[in-house]
Amino acid sequence: TEPRIQELAAKERAEPGYCRRVKDFVVGRRGFGSIKFLGETDVRRLDIESIVQFNHREVIVYRDESKKPAVGQGLNKPAEVTLLNIKCMNKKTGQQYTEGTKVEKYKEMLIKKAEEQGAEFVSYDADKGEWKFRVKHFSCYDFGDGDSEELIDEDANAPIL
């Protein structure tokens, strides 16, 4: 987390009530991505490990719908999500594309994917394989691996992902 849990505890001791209004709180998992909760977030009594789950190319916040608070409460609020390992690849050769028309088509597909999930596309860094988008609240946001999401490499007739 950012700030780290230890820092939050120290700030709360020094300034009672601090954890009620942590600005731009970040939760992440190395190699998978992060979520920046926009504005002030009340982080008291949150079991982050059970609420936020990062998997390969997906993040789930409040998997158990019955435990999800109202929009604007807990972590069910506006956030910027960064997913890693979203690379434009030729599956046959393992080659990563970092520029050109294939990357532009891939970016268009990510824009559409964000819109389909009720999110707002922010950016895509093809070199890093980093996709950012904003959400108004949470459910499951993922890249997906189904055939319908694959791009076709016209040169080799191989799917790119």
Which residues are known catalytic residues?
A: 139
How far, in Å, CA of 51 to CA of 61, rounded?
5
Question: Integer distance in angstroms from the first to the last C-alpha of the chain?
Answer: 29
Q: Which residues of 112-125 are buried (b: 16+ CB within 10 A; e: fewer)?
A: ebbeeeebebeebe
**DSSP classification of residue 67:** G
Cα three-residue angle 97-98-103, rounded to 5 degrees? 75
Q: Which residues contact 80 (CB under 8 A, 6 or more apart)?
A: 35, 36, 38, 122, 132, 133, 134
Helix (H) or strand (E) holding 131: strand 130-135
